[in-house]
Every structure is written in C-alpha cells, then in structure tokens.
Amino acid sequence: MSPNVVPVLSPSSASVSIQGIQNVKITNENISTINTEQSVSLTNNLKTLKIRFRGAAIVKYSFVSGESGSNYFTIPNNCSEEIENLDLSGKSIYFQSSKTGVLEIVELY
C-alpha cells in the first residue's frame, strides 16, 4: 500500500512560526504486517523528525536497512519520539511494529 501523504505546508500559510523551519510534511504509513520492516524516504534537509504510532504498539526503528529488528531505537506503547537538531539528506527510516495500524511521521525541514 502507498502511504497517505499530506501536502507540504508552509508555516506562513498555516499561521505557524517555527524558527529555522520552512516546511512541514506529514506521512501516515499503514503497517499491515506485524514485525516486518517497512521504510519511508525522508525529506532532504530534515531538521526535526517526529514519530508516533496511532494506538498501543511497540515500534522499533533504525536508519539502517535490515536493522529495525536487531539494532534499533524503541518507541514504547502510546508514546512518540522527537529527534531535533538534524541535518539529514538522502536518508530513510526503517521501522516495524508489534501491531498493525498507522505510523505517523512528521518531518520539519
């Protein structure tokens, strides 16, 4: 399935002011198979990444293909993760979940 991608918004048109951030991209990635790695290509010049699973599940993620089940960061049930002060380009995030559902990925760049 392809993700449901919300159009990129400009903070000025959305009446939002975030210092150093020009755009916001929200991706809702459907996880239909548990404990199976999926990936999303991240936006170039990424400054902040926010990840949240809609529901109660443990999410494992990595920035290296094939490592979301062995060498990963964990987002516990009903929690979110925010990574700031990034300067990423040409990267992807690899993830898997203990339950099916939707992973919300917010990119600020």
CATH number for the domain that contains residue 41: 2.60.120.10
Q: What is the mean pLDDT of residues 16-34?
A: 81
Q: What is the mean pLDDT of residues 32-50?
A: 95
Contact (Cβ atoms closer than 8 angstroms) between residue 6 and residue 27? yes
Domain carrying residue 81: 4-108
Name residues whose C-beta falls within 8 Å of residue 23's C-beta, 6 or more positions apart in sequence.
8, 9, 10, 11, 43, 108, 109
**What is the Cα–Cα distance from 86 to 13, expressed in whole angstroms?**
24
Weakest mean pLDDT among 4-8, 17-21, 64-68: 4-8
State pLDDT tens for residues 44-83: 999 999 999 998 899 999 999 999 999 999 999 989 999 9
Structural domains of the chain, count: 1
State pLDDT tens for residues 75-107: 999 899 999 999 999 999 999 999 999 999 999
Kindly state the tokens that stand for 66.
């094939």
**Would you say residue 17 has pLDDT above 50?**
no
Contact (Cβ atoms closer than 8 angstroms) between residue 27 and residue 5? yes
Q: What is the mean pLDDT of residues 21-31?
A: 90
Of 79, 87, 97, 90, nearest to 31 (Cα)? 97
Strand, helix or coil for residue 14 = coil
